[in-house]
Structure 1
Amino acid sequence: MATGSGAPVAATRDDIERAHLLDPHDRTWSIARADVAPDLADVARRFWIPVWDVPDGEIAPQKVLQYPVCLIVISGSYTRFYGVVSGLSQTVLSGRGWAVGLMLQPAAGHLLTRAPVRRMTDRFVDLTTLDEHAAIDGTALTAVVREIMTPDPGSDAAQAQARSAVEAGLRRLLPVDEEGLLVNAIVEDVETSPDLLRVDELCARFDVSERTLQRLLHKRIGLGPKWLIRRRRLQEAADRLRDADAALAGIAADLGYADQAHFTRDFRKATGLTPGEFAARFR
């Protein structure tokens, strides 16, 4: 893993695989991840750049419990702005290809589209269709990234140049407004507080009413606080199920489920797998 400055850092499972329900036996693709430049920390979280070469006649499905943020993805064949996916996000890789993906901060979707992000929940649009209203020029940015990446998408130098090009476009979103900084803080608190299980607890932490919190989150991420807490619990469950000594009953209790059966139903509904089936991938 490389940072935005190109310096190597240790990759931790917590922030890399927590949301990605990867199949550990799939070797048809590789992925590089990098932080954004420090001045863009309020706008974006990180880049991911997959490069794949899937044998003819085969596919490589990718399943993700998406974080509560919008995404920008530019590839050789499409360029998209994604709203938050409330269920399981699925992408099927085939043939050969590459993509430059950017995970935004919760504040940024609204800054980019200049509209309530709830309109984009479970949807994506061509990034270039936002040009009339968006704060960045999706058409120009797509052309630049493709010119850089197409000759050798696996090149560290090409990937660094592509990241720099995207970052230059993002700086038009600065500075982030106070409401945006507040929603960034709220989402960060949920994602880093395993003991937070109730919406009223979240409201108390930020001294806001539940109605105000609902309006803020629907405007900036497109979904409400109950979904936000539930998504964090499921991501944490997926992370812990990778451990060989994981006990389902213990995970269910730690994450605030009434019983193991409730946890199993919730996890299967979100991922298509029971906790046991998911854990078996890593045994």
Structure 2
Amino acid sequence: MPSRAPDDIERAHLRDPNDRRFTIARRLPPEPLRAWLRRFWIPVWDVPDGESAAQRVLQYPVCLSITTPGYSRFVGPNPGLSTTVLEGRSWGFGTMFAPAAGAVLSPGTLRDLAGTHCDLEQIPALAGLTEPVRVLMAEDPSAEETHAACCALVEERLERLGVPGEEDLLINAIVEEVEGDSSLLTVGQLGERFGLGERSLQRLVSRRLGLTPAWLIRRRRLHEAAGALRGTEELAELAARLGYADQSHFTHDFRTSTGSTPGEFARRWRDES
């Protein structure tokens, strides 16, 4: 049975710290499946009538699945800002796949799926999961036993993918390297670490993720920024640490990507504390 996942998605989730209208449970998959699966997330929300709660997320370079009472989707990597509006009382059961899994699961190219979604039932390996998940979640969407049962349904499907191949492991390693090393700032550096020329690296990342190596690095910097802005680091120091030419370039990049300036984002969190 998967353990609880650490709350390391928060730097990607640009939530309002004052918004208490939803909760998110997170669970890790068993170790043997982690080449295909990163985590499960299960949001449950209760938004008063007449209100809505917009959830803004700078997604990771992976595919997702999300099932709710109203829809069930397989979601491609989102190169922009993902926004979901929550209303009323409801729930979702979400799966965040590992980078390698997207191209294996998707019936088409991830370049075509990037920034959009298709019905979960169109994914051969996951077809037939929607109704069993809805039946389980309808009983008590906040119960850990319910979450475990839904996770088991997905895990059984992913076990059928078998042992990951060399390229599967390579694309996982490339993404892990970018996400885990803040000193990695250029596509050339990334290619050197894996013995790949820039063109070969570009083709691999495009085919397996529907994105570019430069996007991976930029998204990692934005995630780092969102995490650091919840603390006390000065903006100029943060911009320099993240490799921006100056604070104005950092401000422009963050505002363009999130809709808020770094100062506006930081004040929401610092006022809360």
TM-score class, shorter-chain normalisation, is: over 0.9
- RMSD over equivalenced CA pairs, Å: 1.2
Q: Deviations over 1:82-104 (max 9, x none)?
A: 11111101000001111111111
Residues 262, 137 of structure 1: CA spacing in aligned structure 2 closer, same or farther, 3 A cutoff? closer
Residue of structure 1 in register with 2:38 after alignment: 45
State the one-letter code of the partner of 2:13: H
Residue by residue over 1:159-189, the C-alpha shift from the partner in whole angstroms, topping out at 9 and shown as x without a partner, is 1111111111111222222111100000000
Q: Which residue of 221, 239, 246 maps to 2:233? A: 246
Shift of 1:114: 4.3
Are 2:248 and 1:261 aligned? yes
Contact 1:141–1:169 (8 Å) recurs in 2: no
Distance 1:173 1:114 in 2: 14
Q: Report the number of matched residues.
A: 270
1:151 maps onto 2:144 in alignment:
no
Partner of 2:267: 280
CA contact under 8 A between 1:116 and 1:218: conserved in structure 2? Answer: no
1:96 maps to amino acid = R
Q: Is the 8 A contact 2:126 2:154 kept in 1?
A: no
What corresponds to 1:58 in structure 2?
Answer: 51
**Which one of 171, 177, 196 corresponds to residue 184 of structure 2?**
196
After superposition, what is the alpha-carbon deviation per residue over 1:23-70, rounded to whole angstroms, capped at 9, x for unaligned?
A: 110011111001011110100100100001100000010000000001
1:254: how far off?
A: 0.2
Residue number in structure 1 paired with 2:83: 90
Runs of 4+ residues over 4 Å off in structure 1: none
Matching of residues 204-243 of structure 1 within 5 Å = 204-243=192-231
Aligned partners of 2:208, 2:119: CA distance in 1, in Å?
20
Q: Note the residue ranges of structure 2 that are not aligned, 5 or more in a row.
A: none
Task: Supply the distance in 1 between the matched residues of 2:148 and 2:95 (Cα, whole angstroms).
Answer: 13
Q: Give the 3-state SS of the residue equivalent to 1:80 in structure 2.
A: strand
CA contact (8 A) 1:107 1:180 kept: yes
- Runs of 5+ unmatched residues, structure 1: none
How far apart, CA to CA, are the structure 2 residues paired with 1:114 and 1:212? 23
Rounded Cα–Cα distance in structure 1 between residues aligned with 2:28 and 2:171: 20
Instruction: Say whether the 8 Å CA contact 1:217–1:225 is kept in structure 2.
Output: yes
Pick the aligned partner of 1:181 from 161, 169, 175. Answer: 169
**CA contact under 8 A between 1:199 and 1:210: conserved in structure 2?**
yes
Distance in 1 between residues matched to 2:79 and 2:152, nearest whole Å: 30
Q: Residues 81, 5 of structure 1: CA spacing in aligned structure 2 closer, same or farther, 3 A cutoff?
A: closer
Deviation of the 1:116 alpha carbon: 2.6
Separation (CA, whole Å) in 1 of partners of 2:260 and 2:141: 33
Aligned residues of 1:46 and 1:104 also touching (Cα < 8 A): yes
Q: Which amino acid aligns with 2:234?
A: A
> In the alignment, residue 71 of structure 2 is paired with which amino acid?
Y
Q: For 1:172 and 1:121, how far apart are their aligned partners in 2?
A: 25
- Matched residue of 2:11: which SS? coil
Question: Which residue of structure 1 aligns with residue 114 of structure 2?
Answer: 121
Correspondence for 1:5: 2
The match for 1:27 is 20
Identity of aligned residues (%): 52
Q: Distance in 2 between matches of 1:16 and 1:121?
A: 20
Q: Which amino acid aligns with 1:90?
A: T
Q: Distance in 1 between matches of 2:164 and 2:88?
A: 39
1:63–1:88 CA contact under 8 A, matched in 2: yes
Question: How many angstroms does 1:151 deviate by?
Answer: 1.5
Aligned partners of 1:44, 1:147: CA distance in 2, in Å?
A: 23
Give the aligned residue type for 1:209: G
- 1:129 deviates by 2.4
CA displacement at 1:74 relative to structure 2: 1.2
1:159 maps to amino acid = H
AA aligned to 1:260 is Q
Task: Give deviations 1:190-236, integer Å, cap 9, x for gaps.
Answer: 00000000100000000011111111111111100001100000000
Cα distance in structure 2, aligned partners of 1:265 and 1:174: 44
